[in-house]
Amino acid sequence: MNLASKDISSDFPISEKIYLNNASVSLMPTQSIEAMKEFLLTYNSIGPDSKDSEPFVTEKLRNVRKTISKIISCQPDEVILTQSTTDGINFVANGLSFDNDSNIIIRGMSHEHHANFYPWIKLEEKISIKNLPIDSNGFFKLDDLESFLDSNTKLVALSHVLYNTGSILPVEEIGKILHEKVPFFIDAAQSIGCIGDIDVSKIQCDFMSFNGSKWLCGPMGTGLFYCNRKSSELLEPKTIGGESAMIYDDSKIAYKELPDKFQTGFRNYVGIVGLESSANYLLKFGIKNIQEKNQNLSNLLREELSKIPNIILYGPENQSDRTSIVSFNINGFDSQEIVDKLEKQNIVLAVREIMEKKIVRASPHFFNTENQILKVIDAIKKL
């Protein structure tokens, strides 16, 4: 059977709701919830701070790094465990060294997600921010990027997939332009888990941040930061503790090797166990199969929406240029009003924005079904 057409909704907790807000927080497979429960029971039975607990927890951390490294094709020690995408962004924004002539390049200003906008704008207090002009879908010209680069450019920071239009930026082409010239950071919150064949070595990025609770179907409070081993020398950790550093010569501090360098304090162990279970579930289904299924669902949604009078669709027409995010408005309706009315019918969408314009965002994932999409369309027709 073609996995891309398989109905896996029964592998997720049963709900009366049609959940289409996976670009915000996704549902978790039942197996991941059970894995978290089993971890807590075992962790408590062996004693959370006993001799047996350390190897037990260490193995869990090692396992999740191995799993994530398979998804993005890196070395396990280049995977730093965080709480969110925002954590990783701030590792870079606060960890790089700048001088008065430094500049960084970003894209679209307020068209960007707040998490990948505010930390860079805050740097305007001490450096210059160059903003790439964009079209209606959020794309920019590669020639513009090349013209912005100079000897003082310390970083290019971009999203892989745009949270509002679903546009997929050509990160591999961008990586070729920047390779060994300028460090490259990617916010991959909207791509890891829904786009197949993500290889950081092909992208040639130095840093990448994403979370576990969107397309990876993990629990809240789990995040991942990819830090290229060589590029880690560019970052000064924003926090420090016994887990990340050591004292020598009585008073001098030396940071430990990756991944410990950026990890102070305890981790969200139970969340990490849930994340690993979810990530393995996705790998078993196949990330390419997930991408195909998501694309089929979003194509169906866009096609049916386009048949409804007064619907305005946003995002690229070409399916290869976008993920399963489908953004739209209805003339004569407030976007929040649409979302509120649908939620009363157990249909969960979200209000987001494209610059100043409020829009309705639907984001189906591979556990959704064509029947659910058609029910949503029917509900929208009756608004």
- Domains in the chain, ordered, with CATH? 3-20+286-381 (3.90.1150.10), 31-284 (3.40.640.10)
d(CA 191, CA 168): 8
> Which residue, chain included where needed, has tokens 């390419």?
288
Sequence-distant (≥ 6) Cβ neighbours of residue 44 within 8 angstroms: none
d(CA 218, CA 353): 25
d(CA 224, CA 271): 12
pLDDT at position 1 is 61
pLDDT at position 2 is 80
d(CA 80, CA 57): 15
Q: Is the pTM of this model over 0.85?
A: yes
Q: pLDDT 10s digit of each residue in the chain, 383 long?
A: 688 889 999 999 989 999 999 999 999 999 999 999 999 999 999 999 999 999 999 999 999 999 999 999 999 999 999 999 999 999 999 999 999 899 999 999 999 999 999 999 999 999 999 999 999 999 999 999 999 999 999 999 999 999 999 999 999 999 999 999 999 999 999 999 999 889 999 999 999 999 999 999 999 999 999 999 999 999 999 899 989 999 988 888 999 999 999 998 888 999 999 999 999 999 999 999 999 999 999 999 999 999 999 999 999 999 999 999 999 999 999 999 999 999 999 999 999 999 999 999 999 999 999 999 999 999 999 99
From start to end of 221-300, where are the E strands?
223-227, 245-248, 252-255
